[in-house]
Amino acid sequence: MTANKSMVEKYMDGSRKSDHELLLSCLTDDRAWEMPGALHLLGKEAFDKAIKNDAFVGSPTITITPMTEENEVVVAEGSVRTQRKASGLLSAVFCHVCIMPRGNSKRMTTYVVDVK
């Protein structure tokens, strides 16, 4: 596994464990995260505030299916299941497109589809 793919896996592991310090260690200080039509964040501080989301209970179950890389871009597809505090189970599929200069995630665009 390449260094960039390992970093994406480390990031996903931080998500699975709800380990904010591990997640933040994977990011550049000026990291951008976009979910088209829903979210646009810039910087570690904004990212940290966004992941401290009390709408969910416990840690998510995240499965990566394929992960591919070319140059400094890693694309990870997968699924996530987690418990919402107010409205039951979230079951979704996602695609993360990660720009990875020097081994850290500088930009991530996430596409998510809720599956019933």
pLDDT of res. 42: 94
Question: What total of structural domains would you count in the chain?
Answer: 1
Q: Between 96 and 49, where is the model more confident?
A: 96
For the entire predicted model, the pTM comes to 0.87
Q: What is the mean pLDDT of the chain?
A: 91
For residue 24, the SS3 value is helix
Query: What proportion of the chain, given as a percentage, has pLDDT over 90?
Result: 60
Query: What is the C-alpha to C-alpha distance for residues 95 and 92, in angstroms, rounded to an integer?
Result: 10
Token pair of 6 as six digits: 């390992």
Instruction: Say which residues have a Cβ less than 8 Å from residue 19's Cβ, sequence separation at least 6.
Output: 13
Range of the domain at 92: 3-114
CATH number for the domain spanning 50: value is: 3.10.450.50
Token pair of 13 as six digits: 């592991």
Q: How confident is the model at residue 107 (pLDDT cuts 50, 70, 90)?
A: very high
Enclosing H/E stretch for 70? strand 56-70
pLDDT of res. 105: 81
- Burial category of 68 from C-beta neighbours within 10 Å (exposed 0-12, middle 13-18, buried 19 and up): exposed
83 contacts 56 by C-beta, under 8 angstroms: yes
Q: How confident is the model at residue 32 (pLDDT cuts 50, 70, 90)?
A: very high
Q: Between 54 and 14, where is the model more confident?
A: 14
Q: Looking at residue 12, what DSSP letter applies?
A: H
3 contacts 72 by C-beta, under 8 angstroms: no
